[in-house]
Amino acid sequence: MPEAIPPVFRRAVIALSGGAVDETVVRLALEFGRASRAELIAIHVVELNWTQPLDADVAERSEEAQRVLDAAEGVAEAMHGKLEAVLVQARDVGAAIVDEAAARDADLLILGLPYRTRFGGDFAIGRAVPYALKNAPCAVWVVREPMGEEPQ
């Protein structure tokens, strides 16, 4: 059986949600990008409501946002890889991620998707993933985390 050829990309934007799936997404990007020495940009978006201007000093002061970026950088360091961590303030996460991918001329956008269900049990895909799938100019990978155990 022929050996699988890893997909090649030269620049990928990785969307960090701050959840457990972030580590998987970063590892995946590092593994697949290693062969082509791809440039990796990890972006975490802090959504601001309209009561604050977009240049309000919020994200930089947010310990949570810093933790998300530090965690991604930590994973990259442990895997001897490189990663540029970026913090962005925006009104809408999906739009901000897609804009960043377009602005960076990325050929791949990777998003993590936590496994969540709505009240009633329907799977909830959220807004950012559908937006990215519909609007991103580049290829999009969505990494869904495993289902949790059924509640007893």
Judged by the rule CB under 8 A, the positions of this chain that interact with another protein are 49-54, 90-92, 94-95
Q: Which is nearer to another protein, 20 or 54 (CB)?
A: 54
As measured in angstroms, the least distance from the Cβ of 92 to another protein is 4
β-strand pairing of 116-117 with 123-124:
antiparallel
Looking at the Cβ atoms of 51 and 152, the one nearer to another protein is 51
How far apart are the C-alpha atoms of 117 and 71, rounded to whole Å?
Answer: 26
Tell me the backbone φ, ψ of residue 42, rounded to 5 degrees: -100, 125
- C-alpha 84/C-alpha 16 separation (Å) is 12
Looking at the Cβ atoms of 50 and 119, the one nearer to another protein is: 50
Q: Tell me how far, at minimum, the Cβ of 3 lies from another protein, in Å.
A: 43
Q: Given the complex with another protein, which of 53 and 121 has the nearer CB atom? A: 53
Q: To the nearest whole angstrom, how small is the minimum distance from the Cβ of residue 93 to another protein? A: 9
CB of 94: closest distance to another protein in angstroms?
8
Residue 10: CB partners within 8 Å, gap ≥ 6? Answer: 36, 38, 39, 107
**45 vs 75, beta carbon nearer another protein:** 45
Query: CB of 65 within 8 A of CB of 44?
Result: yes
Minimum CB separation from another protein for residue 146, in Å? 31
Q: How far apart, in whole angstroms, are the C-alpha atoms of residue 146 and residue 96? A: 26
